[in-house]
Amino acid sequence: MYHIQLRQFPNNMCHFNMTERELLETVVEGWARGQWIEMGERKWNPHQAKLTVLEGPEIPVEQLSVGRGWPKAQHEGEDVTERMVEQAKQASQPAMAAQTAPAVPPPAGGLTDQLLPLLGADPASLLSAWRLAAERRPELAPSESLELAEATLRSLDAGER
């Protein structure tokens, strides 16, 4: 289990008993990219706030009251903040590279000329939507993220009519 603390004077927020997936999706992936994180009733800026991630045993709800949760998590857990953020940064490297790549590869003849028409009338939009779908839903296979991108573009086209 993972427990987190976000601090930015004068605010402090703790969240307990998160799975690795919850931790990554709600906090660490965005934090590693320098994006604002929404937790509790506020947004946290990774350039101003401090994130602490502890890995340890699950803490029963009755032991979280009256401010006892964070000291218990610190006592029984291990600080894995740097490791988790670094792993998220490394995992996002391919996605970051894809974002900086040109929207449509330059024509190189051969295979590129054969593939571009398959992307439809607006290959740049489909490619952008595909990249966005793959970034936001990394658990999907490439074919599934392409399907999601196509469905998104279809729904946008339908909304314009």
Per-residue pLDDT of 95-151, as tens digits, reads 444 454 444 444 455 555 666 666 677 777 777 778 888 888 888 888 888 888 888
| Average pLDDT over every residue of 23-38 | 89
pLDDT score for 110 = 55
Which position has the higher pLDDT, 134 or 53? 53
User: For 10-19, 91-100, 145-154, which range has the lowest pLDDT when averaged over its residues?
Assistant: 91-100
pLDDT score for 53 = 95
| Average pLDDT over every residue of 36-61 | 91
The sign of the CA dihedral 64, 65, 69, 70 is: positive
pLDDT score for 153 = 77
pLDDT score for 84 = 92
DSSP secondary structure, 69-93, as one string: HHHHHHHH-EE-HHHHHHHHHHHHH
- Measured CA to CA, the distance from residue 100 to residue 32 in angstroms comes to 17
- Measured CA to CA, the distance from residue 132 to residue 126 in angstroms comes to 10
| Average pLDDT over every residue of 11-35 | 91
- Measured CA to CA, the distance from residue 62 to residue 97 in angstroms comes to 45
Which position has the higher pLDDT, 156 or 34? 34
